Structure 1
Amino acid sequence: MDGKNSLIEQLRDIDTPSYVVSEELLKKNLKILKHVQDESGCKIILALKGFAMHSLFPIIKEYLPGTTASSLNEARLGHEKFGGEVHVYAPAYQEKEFAEYLELASHVTFNSFSQWKRFRNKFNGHNVECGIRINPEFSEIEFPLYNPCYKNSRLGVTLAEFDDENFDGISGLHFHTHCASNSNALQKTLKVVEEKFQSVLEKVTWVNFGGGHHITRDDYDLDLLIKLIVDFKAKYNVEVVMEPGEAVALNTGYIVTSVVDIIRNDMDIAMLDTSAAAHMPDVMEMPYRPKIIDGFEPLDKKYTYRLGGLTCLAGDVVGDYSFNSPLKIGDKLILLDMAHYSMVKNNTFNGVELPSICILRENGNVEVVKKFGYDDYKDRLS
């Protein structure tokens, strides 16, 4: 049985909708990330904003030394469930939360010098490294929603606004300018960062290259990445940190959904028990069209359908697909690459129930980790 048919068989009896993450595929990614760490001497930590399925943390922490957080809840989750280093960066910290950050974090990075000046005295007695996020004003990200270097961006300090007089106490720099990028994008970014901030790089002990690095993608140039890190570390005598979220979970997960109705409006429309708007928001935000096992481009095969979501939002549509056979009520569809930026961004719009969270174990068994119900919807409201 080939891999596709084996997966279909393994997920045949699963209740839908469900998120399913493959233990085998997760370990495959983690081994690549460990290889990069071993060969380059960098640290790679898990960005919880992209993937925070803590039932899998016992596996992930065998390969990665820590997590990175952008909120107090993420920092607490990393500290309590993962352990190791907890790096924190937030666009703005609140006075009411900051003391708790200092109990959880190993590294705290500031978005502005005004916040650094406001909170710097609170670090007395805490063994926490402090950093500042820079904005090199260069990024190749095509989607404005994800580009932190757009004009008048609120993220990071530009060279023109860099406050050398208040740099004492800061030991690290952080930049995050990538999204699903290959290592040649990092190569270009490092050139700009060095041109603009070389004098600062000579003062720090660590540099965080941020996230958005698609390290585990099949066409990613690992050799170039390793060389860039090794050369940068040698040149500036710094520790290099990378914090991907997507690369950890890339191509490891699925949404399994069932067809609940077939309707007609100039074309066939298959209604699903999942929702693009509620269960996979990036499908609508980017937007993009996820791949489906045995699903093809519209009209490529004999039977074409629009796949509709379960909410009453008019645009709650996964996309148009064609199939070799007609879809029937009760048929299961498997949407690919649904582990990252899905569970962490889903919502209960319309009161639609959240998908269960499952692990496909290496032995082929499916373990249901979490099921959701009415109380999960009710208890987050007032």
Structure 2
Amino acid sequence: MNRRSAPHRATAAAPAADDPARPLRPRRLTARMKLTLTYALFVVVAGAFTLAVIYLAMRFVPNYPLTAANPRDESGAPSRQEILQTLLKASGLTLLLLALVGVGGGWFIAGRVLRPLQDITRAAKRAADGSLDHRIGLTGPRDEFTDLSDTFDTMLARLQRSFDAQQRFAANASHELRTPLAINRTMLDVATADPDGQDYPRLVARLRETNQRGIEVTDALLQLSALDHTSPATQPLDLADTAREALDLVREEAGTRGITLSTDIRPAPATGDGVLLRQLTLNLLHNALRHNLPTGGSLSLTTEPDPAHPGRAVLTVTNTGPLLPDTVDHLTEPFLRGSGRLAEKDPARRGHGLGLAIVAGVVRAHHGDLTLTPNRGGGLTARVSLPGR
């Protein structure tokens, strides 16, 4: 049991008596003591059984006076009764010795066996106190304890990523919701300070635009939250019909931006919520349009049965655009845009950074797969695979 655990380990404080999450339990024998007593009892029982067999075997010794092998030896030979009595005394001392050896050996062996479990317990206490940046890291051959340690470390890593993402989401959401309010307040303060020098129609238009942006962010946040707590009402549908509906809604924007649309829409039977899947397709198309080349850009939309996984349907959106890093999975985090958290200066290209996050939420709710792949020449390919009918 030669295992070492990762450094930087500390014992967590004892739970408070009034903490409802950690109920006090009556303290009884520890697992180490139970294993020790079990081991010692097993040794004593095994020894007693062996001695009992020997004792029973000795009872078959003939019960007649024994004489020494040398006739000149005047000392008398022990009788059977004397031999049995001596055997009983030796057996008692032997069982006592076995009990002591069993307790000592059992205590040592139990400590060695349970040491990894103690490391895992300390790590669990630290995690319960809010520290998720440590790992157990047991080494040694694979067994039940190393499997438990690896599983616990994986859980800690996922929890840490989840809490970090939640903290970023809260901070970014606060910023995104506060920005429109701050802009409105600034414009109103300026208008109040100089009421006669204001272009009120333009001021009202800007206030309306800023207010609409706040409403869009709030609606997107509500939709994103609903996706994580409710299951969609699914029904058989064709992704081809969903793609055509979404494409009709973005043709005008594509023409305004000078982006060429190309489609290869084939029947793709799937199962899902039609409204959510249309929103998913719209978000992918809007993302592909707003993160495209300034001039001469293109966008491709395809639907087809999944060639790699029969019984599933695939929707793919590919666009031209700026070069992206090799890893783009982080783009599905809320409020994270391809060029960072700052919004585009051009209102026509400005987004709220929740489009791909909502896409990922819809895909999760439908038990599908979302794959984002950067194109060699720039731009992004988004591939959505959904369960078929």
Decide: shared fold, TM above 0.5.
no
Q: Give the TM-score category using the shorter length.
A: under 0.3
Q: Give TM-score scaled by structure 2 length.
A: 0.22
Q: Give TM-score scaled by structure 1 length.
A: 0.22
Structure with the bigger RCO (C-alpha within 8 Å, sep 6+) is 1
**Structure whose residues are more often strand by fraction:** 1
**Structure whose residues are more often helix by fraction:** 2
Q: Between Structure 1 and Structure 2, whose CA radius of gyration is higher?
A: 2
